[in-house]
Amino acid sequence: MNRTKEISLGLIWGALAALLITLFIFVEGQSANPGNGDDEIEINITADSVHFELDKEGNIKSVTVGKDRFEKTSKGIKVEDEIIIEDGRIYIDGVEITEEELDRLAVDKEEYKSGVRWKAGRREGRYVKRTRLATVYTDTADDVVKFSDIVIHENERIRGDVVSLGGDVEVFGEVDGDVVSVFGDVYLEDCYIGGDVAAPFGEIIREGGVTVRGDVATAKFGGVHTAGFGFTARYNRVEGLAAFCTLDYDDREGRHPSVNILGGYAFTLKRWEYDFGISHRFFNGWSPYIDASMFQVAESPDKWILTEPENSMAAALLKEDFYDFYWKRGFSGEVGLSYKRDLSAGVGYTAAKIENLKRTASKALFGGKKVFRENWSTVLYDTTALEGVEGKLNEVEFKVSYDTRDYKEDPESGIFTNLVYRQTVDSDSSDFEYEILDAELKYYCPLATDQTLFFRLRGGYSDDDLPLFRRYFIGGIGSLRGYEYKEFQGNRYMLFNADYVWRFFDSSFGAGVFFDAGKTAFTGTAFEDEDLKTDIGIAFLIGDDFRINLAQRLDDMDKSPVLSVRGKILF
């Protein structure tokens, strides 16, 4: 047995072992018994009051507190003699409940007097429904419930809810559930909240990049207007060094349009570039939206393969540029309907002038005597295809998307789906004539702490002769990781990726196994006859922004594994 086959068999056996370990961990986690509890406290929060329902050993109490009735003391919170919160205890009409007795606090996201309801107690066999996720699941013992201040630090993740009855809540990390301060304030900074945020008697203050997936149950919500001016740059073999100024304004309340402006210069391409965008989401919940932009940019159809910062680093340091480029100048607009930024459907129109571009840069910081490949290097032999890049583009687009990911950039859980239909229009121009349908599904499934299973399925179809910037290329980094870069092309394709990654003992180091499958062709018959290309591999992780992949193609075991480096842990 030669060395290559030994490596390949090792990869396969390693992947099988990892999958068995994953299954064992998942089964163990599902079989855990959460325990029992007898007492129950229910807190119903509306816009101007808090209602307490207490059932302790058959002693039932009910108290409603308005904003004008409570006062803060040196020891805690007092509402006349009906509610006292101090020294780790709460007294509701004389009945005492300690923090230890509050063994459960979860969220019932059913509508309740236009407010939000929090419920504690009786964890055995109780289910919680979050209507915004349209899922039903068994609650876990991951909630943080205190009568005093709570701080969730950076890099800390709470799988459940965070609730303070008498203090403030500060969040700098991640909370999968709800964040509630009944009588205090909530401070959020550069964090993620997967559920609702409520501070009925206080304020919710937000600084930096904050994502809240649920509702905000307060009239005071700071930081809804964000604006920033900055600089960014990128490097590739077509633009060379391109430096840009950016200006962004975002109104999360939806009262004013959001504006995004980018402008700069590509030094070796010797062209000015700009992208002026404006968007507006009207109202909350179900809301219409409108997007519009004018642009003059060096564009690439390969941004789904890897991110722009990753490609710039590879080009500047290693003289490896994984993008192909074309020049795009014109405008686009879109109108549609969205629901809480999770579900959206719209129709758009693009009118643009498309031009081919050539390599203008050859130098990099490292890479020795290595020379950048030409733009569209994988089809340089096809003169007709290169000439077909240029022309006048008039395109109508219909799309539907659904997104429940916790983060847009580096997600750890959730689903993303996108369906797009495009058709060229304008009888006066025959530069581009095609119909095309694209679909994508991503699923991020956290199995346990620091363990994630990820699936991605992409596909596209057209019966027309597609220009290069619409043609499908797969192979190499970001797609079929055990094959050569853009080894396969066609006007229809399918691609499947599965990754399982984990961390070692809560450290910054981790590993993973993955599997890829896909194929592409130019005709339906050729696509059906084409064998599915598959590969399997292992990965090593350092921190959140460095991953090394080693992938072995399975259709030709004599070929050596392919090594690739990524700046993202998952796609």
What pLDDT is stored for residue 127 in this prediction?
30
Reported as a pLDDT band with limits 50, 70 and 90, residue 165 is confident
Count of structural domains, the chain:
2
Instruction: Report if residue 529 sits inside a domain.
Output: no
Residue with tokens 């129950």: 40
Radius of gyration, CA atoms only, the chain:
27
User: ∠263-268-271 over CA atoms, to 5°?
Assistant: 40
End-to-end CA distance of the chain: 35
Q: For strand 492-503 and strand 488-490, is the pairing parallel, antiparallel, or unpaired?
A: unpaired
Whether 294 and 170 map to the same domain: the answer is: no
Asked whether residue 468 is domain-assigned, the answer is no
Name, of 144-158, 399-413, 537-551, the range with top average pLDDT.
Answer: 537-551
| Helix, strand, coil shares, percent, the chain, to 5 | 10, 50, 40
Determine what percent of the chain is predicted with pLDDT higher than 70.
Answer: 76
Better-scored residue on pLDDT, 165 or 69: 165
- C-alpha–C-alpha distance, residues 405 and 393, integer Å: 33
Please tell me the distance from the alpha carbon of residue 81 to that of residue 301, in angstroms, as a whole number.
67
Q: pLDDT tens for residues 394-417?
A: 999 999 999 988 777 778 788 999
Instruction: Estimate to the nearest angstrom the gap between the alpha carbon of 560 and the chain centroid.
Output: 33
391 part of a folded domain: no
Residue 141 falls inside a structural domain? yes
Q: Both 175 and 96 in a single domain?
A: yes
Confidence of residue 76 (pLDDT cuts 50, 70, 90): low
- What element of type H or E holds 115? strand 115-121
pLDDT tens, position by position, 226-243: 678 899 999 999 999 999
Residue 436 pLDDT greater than 50, yes or no: yes
Name which of 26-35, 356-365, 372-381 the model is least confident about. 26-35
In angstroms, rounded to a whole number, what is the distance separating the alpha carbons of residues 117 and 107? 6
Residue 420 lies in a domain: no
Which pLDDT score, from 0 to 100, does residue 262 have? 96
**How many helices (H) does the chain have, and how many strands (E)?**
4, 43
139: left (phi over 0), alpha (psi -120 to 50) or beta: beta
* Residue 135 pLDDT greater than 50, yes or no: no
Domain boundaries, position 64: 40-217
Asked whether 129 and 113 are in contact (CB, 8 A), the reply is no
- Looking at the predicted structure, is the pLDDT value of residue 13 above 60? no
- Give the span between the Cα atoms of 417 and 245, in whole angstroms: 32
Same domain, 134 and 115: yes
Better-predicted residue by pLDDT, 41 or 347: 347
DSSP state of 382: -
Choosing from 175, 196, 217, the residue where a domain stops is 217
Cα→Cα distances 427→35, 160, 330, 354, 459, Å? 70, 57, 19, 17, 29
- Averaged pLDDT for residues 178-183: 84
Question: Averaged over 32-61, what is the pLDDT?
Answer: 62
Pair (150, 252) in one structural domain: no
Is 480 within the bounds of a domain? Answer: no
Flag whether 388 is in a domain. Answer: no
Residues 157 and 69 in one domain: yes
Domain boundary among 217, 235, 269: 217
Whether residue 85 contacts residue 76, with contact meaning beta carbons closer than 8 Å, is answered with yes
Going from the C-alpha of 474 to that of each of 70, 139, 356, 522, the distances in angstroms are: 63, 41, 21, 13
Structural domain includes residue 104:
yes
80's CB contacts (< 8 A; 6+ apart) are 69
* 199 has pLDDT over 50: yes
Q: How confident is the model over 57-65, as a mean pLDDT? A: 73
Cα distances from 43 to residues 119, 120, 149, 181, 196, in angstroms, run 6, 8, 18, 11, 14
Each residue of 467-522: pLDDT tens digit? 999 999 999 999 999 999 999 999 999 999 999 999 887 678 999 999 999 999 99
pLDDT bracket for residue 195 (50, 70, 90): confident
The CA dihedral of 274, 278, 279, 282, to the nearest 10 degrees, is 170
Per-residue confidence (pLDDT) for residue 125, from 0 to 100:
29
The reply to whether 60 and 156 lie within a common domain is yes
Whether residues 160 and 111 share a domain: the answer is yes
Considering the domain architecture, whether residues 57 and 184 belong to the same structural domain is answered as yes
Same domain flag for 139 and 242? no
150 touches 137 (CB < 8 A): no
Which of 324, 358, 375 is the last residue before a domain boundary? Answer: 375
Whether residues 128 and 212 share a domain: the answer is yes
pLDDT tens string 98-130: 666 654 433 333 333 334 444 444 333 223 333
Residue 168, pLDDT > 60, answer: yes
The neighbouring-strand residues paired with 314 are: none
| Range ranked top by mean pLDDT from 14-23, 208-217, 463-472 | 463-472
Amino acid at 91: Y
The residue assigned the tokens 């050729």 is 526
